[in-house]
């Protein structure tokens, strides 16, 4: 009966393959699930953890496949492969180090590697190629360069990543009130700390301290299992917990869409109330004022009745002013600065509520001699906003094209997406009714077409 150590030795190649696969999957999953549209700092910083996973996975596969090539390749080619192999190890750890620095809330954002990451990587280069120069085909040089990569970059990088992820989780993720995701990030942080120890301090056997005491051979003798197995298990936990925790980006998107829907509902209700005030209450009060004013002509000048009627007219005038003030407040969300139509369309395309979730392209073919008033531009602005909000909420589109053009009589705006199109239930929705109402107020027309996505065609006259 074989011992546990013998079992692992016999299956060494499989362990190497699984170990590399775990980290490769970690990196690849982060790349697939990380949202560029996210406003969380985590989304920008996870790219370093993804780079670590992919680079480290390739490094571990190198341990498996490079020795096999020794029977077929020249000594010079093998030297190059081993050189690239060690560089890949240091680069992977440098990415982990960078992730630890970048995820700290107090860290200043920089492009590329942080100076501290470059410093430790440069220190490893000096030690591996200048202080301890050697032939990459020499196993002793490979062990020394491996050990210093783990001591200088791997161990501090793992500790930084574990600490940074823990701090980031409590400061940035916990306030989102998602306990399951917080728990996953906590487990991932603890696992990164364990990996920092078993991956950064347990090195190949070397002839100086501490590698001559704590190394892969003494570790295997003490526990009965090689460190590669423990690293693989820790890597699986890191991959599983990080992938589960990436659900935070879907949650963030859902909440942003929900906020957008709520804002659209509020805006639509304000618009309805404003129309009711303008077309109902204000007109009725104004009519009452005219009736009272006509009654003053029938009263004796300076009589008690005349005085009361004049006070009634003043009260009605004040009421109209109050109603108009309320009307302005209800219209506040649609008040626009003195901007041209092309500027408004560009503003819509640059709205982070939209352009972080879909790609928006704007094409303008508007005659230079044509423009519309600010009041009418507000309605056009609201129609396009409603169309984009519907696209973000329901269409699952990736791209939106907005084209504004027309002739000397009409302005035509087309909003086309590449999403799922419009369902039959949506045709009677409040948002679409609001768009149709605004188009009628502009004395125009609006049409919706399902054709490989949804196309909204708005046509209005240039003139009032």
Q: Supply the pLDDT for residue 233.
A: 93
Measured CA to CA, the distance from residue 274 to residue 394 in angstroms comes to 28
CB atoms within 10 A of CB 13: 13
| pLDDT per residue as tens digits for the range 409-444 | 889 999 999 988 887 666 666 678 878 888 887 889
122 compared with 3, residue with greater pLDDT: 122
Measured CA to CA, the distance from residue 318 to residue 73 in angstroms comes to 95
Q: Supply the pLDDT for residue 262.
A: 63
The DSSP result for 253-276, as a single string, is: HHHHHHHHHHHHHHHHHHHHHHHH
Q: C-alpha 263: how far from its chain's center? A: 20
Of the ranges 80-94, 220-234, 287-301, 348-362, the best mean pLDDT one: 80-94
In whole angstroms, how large is the CA radius of gyration of the chain? Answer: 34
Burial class (CB in 10 A: 0-12, 13-18, 19+), 287: exposed
| Residue found by looking up tokens 């940074």 in the block | 164
Strand pairing report for 399-406 and 359-364:
parallel
Q: Supply the pLDDT for residue 298.
A: 77
C-alpha dist (Å) from residue 53 to 60, 79, 153, 345:
11, 25, 15, 42
Residue 105 corresponds to which tokens in the numbers above?
């809330």
Residue 454, H or E segment: strand 454-461
The DSSP result for 41-109, as a single string, is: HHHHHHHHHHHHHHHHHHHHHHHHHHHHHTTTS-HHHHHHHHHHHHHHHHHHHHHHHHHHHHTSTTPPP
C-alpha dist (Å) from residue 446 to 155, 411, 412:
63, 12, 10
Would you say residue 78 has pLDDT above 80? yes
Q: Average pLDDT over the chain, rounded to whole?
A: 84
Domain extent listing, the chain: 4-245, 262-335, 336-464
The total number of residues shown for the chain amounts to 464
236 compared with 32, residue with greater pLDDT: 236
All residues at 6 or more sequence positions from 126 whose CB lies less than 8 Å from its CB, including other chains: none
C-alpha dist (Å) from residue 318 to 57, 282, 329:
76, 11, 17
142 and 205 Cβ atoms separated by less than 8 Å: no
The highest-level CATH class for domain 336-464 is: alpha beta
458 compared with 44, residue with greater pLDDT: 458
Kindly report the pTM of this predicted structure: 0.65
Q: What are phi and psi of 404, to 5 degrees?
A: -120, 125
Rounded to a whole number of angstroms, the distance between the first and last alpha carbons of the chain is 94
All residues at 6 or more sequence positions from 243 whose CB lies less than 8 Å from its CB, including other chains: 26, 29, 30, 33
Q: What are phi and psi of 457, to 5 degrees?
A: -110, 115
Would you say residue 371 has pLDDT above 60? yes
């Amino acid at each position: 009966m074989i011992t546990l150590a013998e079992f692992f030795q016999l299956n060494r190649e499989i362990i190497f393959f699984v170990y590399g696969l775990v980290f490769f999957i970690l990196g690849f999953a982060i790349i697939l699930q990380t949202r560029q549209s996210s406003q969380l700092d985590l989304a920008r910083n996870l790219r370093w953890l993804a780079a670590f996973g992919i680079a480290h996975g390739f490094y571990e596969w190198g341990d498996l496949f490079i020795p096999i090539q020794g029977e077929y390749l020249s000594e010079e080619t093998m030297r190059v492969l081993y050189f690239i192999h060690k560089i890949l190890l240091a680069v992977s750890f440098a990415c982990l180090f960078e992730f630890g620095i970048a995820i700290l809330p107090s860290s200043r954002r920089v492009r590329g590697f942080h100076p501290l990451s470059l410093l430790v990587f440069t220190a490893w280069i000096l030690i591996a190629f200048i202080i301890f120069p050697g032939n990459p085909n020499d196993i002793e040089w490979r062990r020394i360069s491996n050990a210093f990569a783990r001591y200088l970059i791997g161990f501090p990088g793992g500790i930084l990543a574990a600490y940074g992820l823990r701090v980031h989780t409590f400061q940035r993720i916990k306030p989102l009130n998602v306990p399951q995701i917080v728990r996953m990030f906590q487990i991932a942080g603890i696992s990164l700390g364990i990996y920092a120890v078993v991956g950064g301090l347990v090195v190949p056997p070397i002839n100086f301290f501490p590698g001559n005491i704590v190394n892969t051979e003494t570790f295997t003798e003490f526990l009965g299992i090689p460190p590669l197995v423990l690293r693989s298990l820790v890597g699986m936990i890191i991959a599983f917990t990080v992938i589960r925790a990436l659900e935070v980006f879907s949650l963030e998107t859902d909440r942003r869409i929900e906020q957008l829907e709520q804002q659209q509902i509020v805006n639509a209700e304000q618009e309805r109330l404003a129309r009711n005030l303008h077309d109902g209450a204000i007109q009725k009060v104004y009519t009452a004022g005219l009736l009272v004013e006509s009654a003053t002509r029938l009263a004796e000048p300076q009589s008690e009745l005349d005085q009361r009627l004049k006070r009634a007219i003043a009260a009605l005038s004040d009421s109209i002013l109050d109603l108009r003030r309320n009307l302005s407040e209800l219209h506040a969300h649609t008040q626009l600065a003195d901007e041209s139509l092309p500027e408004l369309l560009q503003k819509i395309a640059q709205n982070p509520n939209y352009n972080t979730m879909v790609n928006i392209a704007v094409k303008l073919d508007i005659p230079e001699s044509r423009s519309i008033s600010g009041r009418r531009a507000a309605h056009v602005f609201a129609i396009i906003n409603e169309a984009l909000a519907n696209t973000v909420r329901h269409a699952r589109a990736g791209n939106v094209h907005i084209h504004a053009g027309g002739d000397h009589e009409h302005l035509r705006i087309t909003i086309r997406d590449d999403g799922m199109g419009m369902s039959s239930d949506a045709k009677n929705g409040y948002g679409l009714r609001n768009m149709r109402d605004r188009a009628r107020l502009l004395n125009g027309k609006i049409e919706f077409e399902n054709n490989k996505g949804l196309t909204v065609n708005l046509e209005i006259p240039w003139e009032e």
